[in-house]
Amino acid sequence: MLLAVDIGNSEVTLGVHDGTRWIARWRLRSVVHATADEYALWIKGLFREADIPLSRIRGVSLASVVPPLTDTLGEVLETHFDAPMLIVNAHTPMPIRIAIDKPEEVGADLIANVVAAYHRLRAAHIVVSLGTATVLTAVNARGEFLGAAIAPGLRMAAAILAERTAQLPGIQLQAPSAAIGRNTVQAMQSGLILGYVGLIEGLVARFREEMGTPAPVIATGGLAGLIAPHTLVIEQVDPWLTLEGLRLLAEYNHLISDN
């Protein structure tokens, strides 16, 4: 069995694949100040509840964009799982080519996303990752990672509005019934939810123009389900796309030979 772990700024996602299917997937909060012992307690508890012995794990595929948590969770994984570990970065052998100015700047999660999307589509595509940041990535038909666009994440934008203004409240992130808000909450929901829909649609249109192809769009991340229903440009939603990419990278690198 393979354990895939994606360490993001807001969440740590984990999944166990038995060689045929995902038999368990979880989300934990990213807590930078949590100790290795605390994360070990949480992860072992998840495995216990899912009735998966730690000894069944034959390989670990890890992506992280949070260096302090890379060290913490790396210690947990090395201590409690007797299995080889693949730590994904721009130098990891992969079935795509990173064709940008500074490949080392590409986040491991984005690499996993485009590996999974290209494997699924075998064509030019755009991935929209909706998490702590909103990131669009472009890959052409030859499997070349062309670049990205990065904007603040939806929750971050909402928090900044509430924190940096005297009269705007914290709000629940949900779509309003109309674009023209009849009160402050509705107006903020329109600007945030529908505003981000417009941002994504505009960037997708520009990406497609520069790529010279009507590239299909896959959305992933914890907020994908909130945005996707309000736009036709997003054709697929897969909140676990990063884990699938980590699985494919483990397979490509022959991390485990049996399940």
**64-86 per-position pLDDT tens digit:** 999 999 999 999 999 999 999 99
Q: Domain of 33: which CATH number?
A: 3.30.420.40
Low-confidence ranges of the chain (pLDDT < 50): 259
pTM of the model: 0.92
Secondary structure class of 8 (helix, strand, coil)? coil
Structural domain total, the chain: 2
**In the prediction, which pLDDT does 258 show?**
53
Q: How far apart are CA 59 and CA 42, in angstroms?
A: 19
Half-sphere exposure of 225 (CA within 13 A, CB side): 4
Q: For residue 246, tell me if it sits in a domain.
A: no
Residue found under tokens 């080889």: 84
Half-sphere exposure of 187 (CA within 13 A, CB side): 7
- Both 43 and 135 in one domain: the answer is no
- Both 140 and 232 in one domain: the answer is yes
Domain range for 61 is 2-87
Q: For residue 79, tell me if it sits in a domain.
A: yes
**In the prediction, which pLDDT does 171 show?**
83
Secondary structure class of 129 (helix, strand, coil)? strand
Active site residue 109: yes
Of the residues 37, 82, 109, 238, only one is catalytic, namely 109
Q: For residue 167, tell me if it sits in a domain.
A: yes
**In the prediction, which pLDDT does 164 show?**
81
**In the prediction, which pLDDT does 257 show?**
66
